Amino acid sequence: MSMVTCIAPVNIAVIKYWGKRNEELILPLNDSISATLSTEQMHAKTTVMVSSNFTKDKLWLNGKEESFENPRLATCIREIRKRAAEAAGQQSEFVKYKVHVCSENNFPTAAGLASSAAGYACLVYSLAKAYGVEGDLTSIARQGSGSACRSLDGGFVRWRMGSKADGKDSIAEQLFDEDHWPEMRVLILVVNDARKKVSSTSGMQLSVETSDLLKHRVENVVPQRTKDMIEALKQKDFHKFAELTIKDSNSFHACALDTYPPAVYMNDTSHAIADFVHRYNKSKGVNKVAYTFDAGPNACLFLLEADVPEVLGSLELVFPPHPKEKSFVRGLPVQ
Ligand code: DP6
């Protein structure tokens, strides 16, 4: 028997992945870049047990038994077993043992808070440990949920779209490790933690089918922006980093709105937060805060450690916390 427990972090994209060139293999239309958060407050935790006594693969998600029929889940486990068999020899009995998986998130699932990313990264990593699989795991995690491939490394990570039809070169790699920019912080502003109406998967599929703006984004905007982002990160140029992050978030949401019928993820509070950030930056004469929104209304604000107290104070003046909550803002280090 083999039992492994792992935790995996959330990642927040600053250059967004939106659109696939291959739905089954989960191959993206553009490169993306993300920051990996510290696992302290937001993470997925997975325990995997492989045993000759089990008669069936089983999965519990946040305490509830789920079907293992989910094709993405099935692909991840099949790929891990294939690799394990290649390493241990096709005849190895262990590879054929069934697996029980228990996974939980300590933050809302499917509310645009990258829960599937942390969940699949954690699942694939734990399975790999349990079956003794080594080497690149990002191409397997990618087949669980695209953004999951960026949660296997700390710091700033780039997912390369790749060009091969089989997706072998569509892997994630660390650009800068967690010590590169230790002052970087993220504030997560939970506007609404309900499950999103249009999932990322179906939203982006519809965008690929109907949005001309997405074609323009993929061909003419993201390639140069990716280069500029890498340079801003390398130079630790926060002003530029913020501009690029904000522009890319808005470019992605513009494509979501250009989709027919439109995918509307940001709400009035989200727009009020974006407006706050622009006013704050203008008052400082330089970008001190960046916002980015995924496929949901919750805001992720990037800022430097020294600016956290003042920004938090100003935020809570404009958006007073709910009487039952001490604060709706959670500060997390990037790690
Ligand atoms: C807006 O990785 O959730 O968060 O590959 O279909 O599972 P699938 O989609 P998913 O999409 C994430 C989209 C995003 C942007 C990003 O994280 O890059």
**Whose CA is closest to 296, among 1, 10, 7, 8?**
10
Check if 248 has its Cβ closer than 6 Å to any atom of ligand 1.
no
Is residue 110 over pLDDT 60? Answer: no
Is 241:273 a contact under the CB 8 Å cutoff?
no
Is 35:16 a contact under the CB 8 Å cutoff?
no
Tokens (6 digits) for 147 = 């953004």
Centre of ligand 1 to C-alpha 329, Å, is 23
Ligand 1 atom nearest 205 alpha carbon: 6
Q: Ligand 1 pocket: which of 17, 120, 158, 160 to mutate (most atoms <8 Å of CB)? A: 17
- Write down how long the chain is: 335
Ligand 1 atom nearest 112 alpha carbon: 4
Amino acid at 200: S
Check if 276 has its Cβ closer than 6 Å to any atom of ligand 1.
no
**Whose CA is closest to 13, among 168, 226, 306?**
226
Centre of ligand 1 to C-alpha 291, Å, is 17
Is 298:289 a contact under the CB 8 Å cutoff?
no
Centre of ligand 1 to C-alpha 17, Å, is 6
Going from the C-alpha of 242 to that of each of 136, 167, 180, the distances in angstroms are 31, 31, 17
pLDDT value at residue 96:
85
Q: Which residues contact 284 (CB under 8 A, 6 or more apart)?
A: none
Q: Longest C-alpha distance within the chain, in Å?
A: 67
Residue with tokens 């509830």: 64
Is residue 159 over pLDDT 90? Answer: yes
Centre of ligand 1 to C-alpha 114, Å, is 8
User: What is the ipTM score, two decimals?
Assistant: 0.99
Check if 116 has its Cβ closer than 6 Å to any atom of ligand 1.
yes
Ligand 1 atom nearest 201 alpha carbon: 6
Percent composition of the chain: helix, strand, coil (DSSP 3-state, to 5): 40, 25, 35
pLDDT in tens, 192-211: 767 667 899 999 999 999 99
| 302, β-bridge pairs | 186, 290
Is residue 331 over pLDDT 60? Answer: no
Check if 291 has its Cβ closer than 6 Å to any atom of ligand 1.
no
Centre of ligand 1 to C-alpha 253, Å, is 13
Q: What is the mean pLDDT of residues 275-288?
A: 98
Check if 201 has its Cβ closer than 6 Å to any atom of ligand 1.
yes
Q: What is the mean pLDDT of residues 252-264?
A: 97
Is residue 329 over pLDDT 80? Answer: no
Is residue 156 over pLDDT 80? Answer: yes
pLDDT value at residue 319:
86
Q: What is the mean pLDDT of residues 222-244?
A: 98
pLDDT in tens, 44-61: 999 999 999 999 999 998
Ligand 1 atom nearest 15 alpha carbon: 18
pLDDT value at residue 332:
43
Going from the C-alpha of 142 to that of each of 17, 98, 99, 185, 311, the distances in angstroms are 12, 23, 21, 26, 35
pTM of the full structure = 0.94
Check if 26 has its Cβ closer than 6 Å to any atom of ligand 1.
yes
pLDDT in tens, 181-193: 999 999 999 887 6
Q: Which residues contact 37 (CB under 8 A, 6 or more apart)?
A: 9, 10, 11, 12, 186, 332, 333, 334, 335
State how beta strands 98-105 and 58-61 pair.
Answer: parallel
Centre of ligand 1 to C-alpha 238, Å, is 25
Check if 32 has its Cβ closer than 6 Å to any atom of ligand 1.
yes
Q: Kindly report the CA angle at 190 between 188 and 195, in degrees rounded to 5?
A: 120
Ligand 1 atom nearest 142 alpha carbon: 5
